[in-house]
Amino acid sequence: MKRDNYLKLEFPSRSANEALARASVAAFASQMDPTLDELGDIRTAVSEAVTNAIVHAYPDTVGVVWLRARILDGEYLEITVKDKGRGIEDVDRARQPLYTTGGEDRSGMGFTIMESFTDRLRIRSAPGRGTTVTMQRRIRRKPG
């Protein structure tokens, strides 16, 4: 039953879908009985990953963003955000706080926030092929 439940979403890289993406994952995660802080962290991490796909992966076109959320071992929420956009040349550099190719409008803190709000962040990317961001966050079972 819910130990292997999952959610899959596919949507065009339009910014109006950012709110939809984080609300959908939050609704999915609610079956794990998260605290308000845990839910806030999940919404934020999803928003960062999805915004990156919309802003950086497809800067001049509308592409497709794939999102999956699933429950692992009953108490881990795994979130995967995938694009087939521009890709990242140097992932280690992109993960550095304040590193951005986005200019004034961006702060370069997205990956730093994803990292501090989840227990595990993995980024796989190939220039010209796309990027897959996978995050895991433990949602402890509540007693009773």
Partner 1 sequence: MKVFSSYDNGRLTIYLHGELDHHAVRGAAELVERLLGEYLPRDCVLDLGRLSFMDSSGIALILRLHRRLVAGGGRFWVENVGAQPLRVLDAGGIGRVVQIAAAKEAKQA
Ligand X SMILES: Nc1ncnc2c1ncn2[C@@H]1O[C@H](COP(=O)(O)OP(=O)(O)OP(=O)(O)O)[C@@H](O)[C@H]1O
Residue 43, binding choice from ligand X, partner 1, Mg ion, none, Cβ under 5 to 8 Å by partner class = partner 1
Which position among 18, 22, 43, 48 bears the catalytic label? 48
Q: Please tell me whether residue 139 binds ligand X under the rule CB under 6 A.
A: no
CA 49 to CA 113: how far, in whole Å? 10
Q: Which is nearer to Mg ion, 32 or 114 (CB)?
A: 114
Judge whether 122 and 137 are in contact, CB under 8 Å.
no
H-helix or E-strand spanning residue 82:
strand 76-83
Q: Which is nearer to Mg ion, 33 or 89 (CB)?
A: 89
Is residue 83 part of the contact set for ligand X (CB under 6 A)? yes
Name the minimum Å distance from CB 129 to Mg ion. Answer: 19
- Determine which one of 18, 52, 86, 137 is catalytic: 52
Residue 52 is among the residues annotated as catalytic for this protein = yes
Q: Which residues are 66's β-sheet partners?
A: 10, 82
User: How many angstroms separate the Cα of 58 from the Cα of each of 43, 48, 87, 132?
Assistant: 22, 15, 9, 14
Q: Is 93 a catalytic residue?
A: no
Catalytic residues: 48, 52, 106
